[in-house]
Structure 1
Amino acid sequence: EYLVAGTIPKLGKGYSNEVLISQYLANRLHLKVGSQFNTFFLAQGQNTLPKARRFTVSGIYNSGVKDFDSVYLIGDIKHVQLMNRWRPDQVGSFEVFVTDFNRIAETGQAVYQETGSLLNTQTITEKYYYIFDWLKLFDFNILIILCVMIAVSTINMVVALLVLILERTQMIGILKAMGATNWSVRKIFLYNALHLIVRGLLWGNGVALLVLYIQKYFGVIRLDPESYYVTTAPVSIDYGYIALLNVGTILVCLLVLLIPSYIITRIVPSKTIRFD
């Protein structure tokens, strides 16, 4: 998914000279798909000449993470094994992929316990801790924004309900004079408020989902990868979270609206019916 040009290197039984290079390095080295370049590997020991290999660029990738793109060149591991005199089953390091990212710390500890004392293990959250600290800051900002949005929506609904009650003061007095209870009158305004809330949520969800789908499939909003580690603003649409947020907004608004609807119990029919 990060390939921007060319193809993945073709690996076979022999030694493949095709490599995958990052767009960051390709721009700095003035390379393109099909270009050939010399690579020098420093050997251990004194008076040892560097070992040279000539590779061909088969593809160019861009992960959006400069710390990765500026370091890694992807190719046939047989070259490294030959220069280091390793056996075919020997590697410098390997990665373990987890299915549940929330348990990465637990999995990392389990892998560490099974690893020999001469080797070390490190989870991705430990290796790139600064990136994940940056993401946690985003999560905190999202929580603050959601709290502010819910607070603003509840205040707007309280004001709207108060206006409705004040405009219908005479109607409330007539209903109470005809025998309507305070709770039955309050339910009329709460149902009206619920109608307004649901109607607003339908419009809001429609516009929001439209914008999210446009960003997800077309990537309209672009970002600087050196600052944000991605080229476009990423979008994740979780219908479960959306439904939960909508239900939570409705419940919070209705609970808050119970307070201004209490004004109805203070309205006296004998005074409001004469009100002009």
Structure 2
Amino acid sequence: MFEFQLAKRLYTSKKGVKRISKPAVFIAVLGIAIGFIVMMITIAVVIGFKGEIRNKAVGFSSDIQLSNYNTMASYESHPIAVSDSLLTALQEYPDTRWVQRYSTKVGMIKTESSFQGMILKGVAQEFETSFFTKYLVEGTLPAFNDSTSTNEVMLSKTVADLLDIHLDDRIFTYYAEDEGIKARRLKVVGIYQTNFYEYDKLYLLTDLYTVNKLNRWGVDQASGVEIAIKDYAKLEEVTEDLGDKFMGLEDAYGEPYIVNNVEQLNPQLFGWLALLDLNVWVILGLMMAISGFTIISGLLILILERTQMIGLLKGLGATNKMIRKVFIWLAIFLIGKGLFWGNIVGLSLCLIQSKFGVVPLDPAVYHVDKVPISLSLWWVVALNAATILISVLMLLGPSYLVSRINPATSMRYE
């Protein structure tokens, strides 16, 4: 292709490079590189941050919960019957990874000098422990079961520091009942810290039997069933499908079912995360505009400084369209150079932060202790392709300057 070959020759040749075009081209390439670095880091940080927050919310409550409809209108938990056949049916559902029973009881921890409200959450032997194991800072996880009471509990470092509680301490917890206050003494065997303070301040983890006994529930009852799904992208679809299956059904005690997902249970949290997407689009738009304008400036200077060459090509029979293609190809080479260095620097910065966490954050504000990074090949490739496409589209208009150059007068132009 004539246009491509000529543009390549102009790009690689050092002859005829003038004092104005050289810094202009450098600034254009630098603008593309910096803009791309900012866009890459922005997307990597926002995706990483949303992923961290979402994973912590899911870790505390799973993707989907099957519970008692009456719980939605009450601060206290209401039970549903959880039979083996129900657990088996949910486990065999095509999109399910695992299911687990849970029971909760609202109460309070009281020490000699202070007190703190909390939710005691009990789980059984099928409990998926990977999330809390990841954030365990001291001790071990309690012995989870549904047949005996261990009186073991795991709480967060946030609560431990607030109430001056240490590993192996025995704490007194209190629960309001119709006939008065019920007390239960529990041994602290583990301390975790997720930096997700809204949950860290609330949840204490123990065995299912202990919580059911406090609630005076039968062995076949629980607050609900937590369901983890294989693909989070299908969260709404699976929630609707399960909701349709359990709509209008009642358990063995006549209690109605309801199905909710983690986003429905935490609307403010996920609404806040959704706002981050708007910030990303604003930043991407600004960086695309800046990168586009810098490459346009470079292209215009190149066209003006190649006026004699344009006149000569027109005199030899080249059309405006052919000459425009030459300069667009030349601009694409410059964009490619900017993207090359942008990818090198951007990926390096992201990998360094991901591996070493050199940029810390205040976990009390951001729920994470370092800037989170999430890299994916598909969006990196998509970002490169979008940058090239948008930049080229922005160049189409300025490239029409070629048609304004008259061959007769351009031969005398200096």
Q: TM-score, normalised by structure 2?
A: 0.61
1:155-209 per-position Cα deviation (integer Å, ceiling 9, x unaligned): 1111110000011111211222233332332222222111110111111111111
Provide the rounded CA distance (Å) in 2 between the counterparts of 1:31 and 1:70: 13
1:73 Cα deviation (Å)?
0.4
Out of 202-211 and 112-121, give the one that drifted further: 112-121
Cα deviation for residue 119 of structure 1 reads 4.1
Match of 1:231 in 2: 369
Per the normalisation by structure 1, the TM-score is 0.89
Gaps of 5+ in 1: none
Give distance in 1, aligned partners of 2:391 and 2:320: 20
For residues 96-175 of structure 1, the aligned pairs below 5 Å read: 96-113=227-244, 114=246, 116=250, 118-175=256-313
The Cα RMSD (Å) is: 2.2
Match in the other structure for 2:184 = 52
- Residue of structure 2 aligned with 1:30, choices 164, 173, 178: 164
| Distance in 2 of aligned mates of 1:38 and 1:78 | 18
Alignment of 1:6-17 (within 5 A): 6-11=139-144, 14-17=148-151
Question: Out of 193, 196, 207, which is 2:334 matched to?
Answer: 196
Seq. identity, %: 37
In the TM superposition, residue 49 of structure 1 has moved relative to its aligned partner by 5.2
**Which runs of no fewer than 5 residues in structure 2 stay unpaired?**
1-133
Q: Distance in 2 between matches of 1:198 and 1:99?
A: 38
Hey, what does 1:260 align to over in structure 2? Answer: 398
The superposition leaves residues 201-233 of structure 1 with CA deviations (integer Å, 9 ceiling, x where unpaired) of: 111111111121222222233333343333333
Deviations 1:60-98 (A, max 9, x none): 222222221111101111112233343333212332222
Query: In the alignment, what sits opposite 1:2?
Result: 135
**Residue 177 (structure 2) pairs with residue 76 (structure 1):** no
Counterpart amino acid of residue 95 in structure 1: E
Maintained 8 Å contact 2:323/2:402: yes
Equivalent residue letter for 2:287: M
Change (3 A) 1:45 1:265: closer
| One-letter amino acid matched to 1:52 | R
Match of 2:192 among 61, 72, 83: 61
Q: Which moved more, 1:30-39 or 1:165-174?
A: 30-39
Which structure ranks higher in relative contact order (CA pairs < 8 Å, sequence separation ≥ 6)?
A: 2
Distance 1:108 1:83, change over 3 A: same
SS, match of residue 75 in structure 1: strand
One of 67, 90, 96 as aligned partner of 2:221:
90
Report the structure, 1 or 2, having the larger strand content: 2
Report the equivalent of 1:39: 173
Q: Distance in 2 between matches of 1:131 and 1:187?
A: 50
For this pair of structures, how many residues does the alignment match? Answer: 273
